[in-house]
Structure 1
């Protein structure tokens, strides 16, 4: 078995299975393996050390790639892209290095909840490099380890 990577919970909230996400790209794991968070806070933190490889124009999603090649997508909300960035702020840009626990996004949870779901999938978009994933569904506090990924 290859390297083990611990991921921090990116938002304070309840961790749930991807099957609870009302979007087939996530709940059928087409986007990748992972979990989702029902947020109870407005700030999103980097789950890992890595490089920001994607920040959507609508500021609702960030992609981070670790040194080991693990690619992580954090997607705040379902249908949140239709808000065109309203209620969102990004603290990072593509090419920037981040450390686990760094603040990467803000979203106005109450505003977003009025117009979209705030459930936030965290998926590994290159799941083919994964041997196994262990998810702690009891985690609730941002910046605590909630997922351990073992690479092939």
Structure 2
């Protein structure tokens, strides 16, 4: 029922829809920012290891390009963080977040129960094999 309610809220309420979209965009921007940072570090490492002037110029240009992309992403990250914070003020978004939290807790408990059931199943199978060996 909670999952159904979460889906209905996401589809029917504009604030919740905008909140979800903003969170997704924020996560994507953060991931892209991290990727650009790693690429920059690799290029800088490559730059420090080369003495070829042409290669150095090319790497410097690539690093500058990556820096421009990162700055753009930083602006987007700031925008989506601000938008998310503003949307979180709405009561319906708070209810949505509580609902998501409850769903996550329930899913965590279900996973624990499944893992325990699997352990018990494995143990029963082992004991059954031992019993068959003793009989046979």
The answer, yes or no, to whether TM exceeds 0.5 is no
Between structures 1 and 2, the one with greater helix share: 2
Between structures 1 and 2, the one with greater strand share: 1
Q: Shorter-normalised TM-score: what interval?
A: under 0.3
Larger radius of gyration: 2
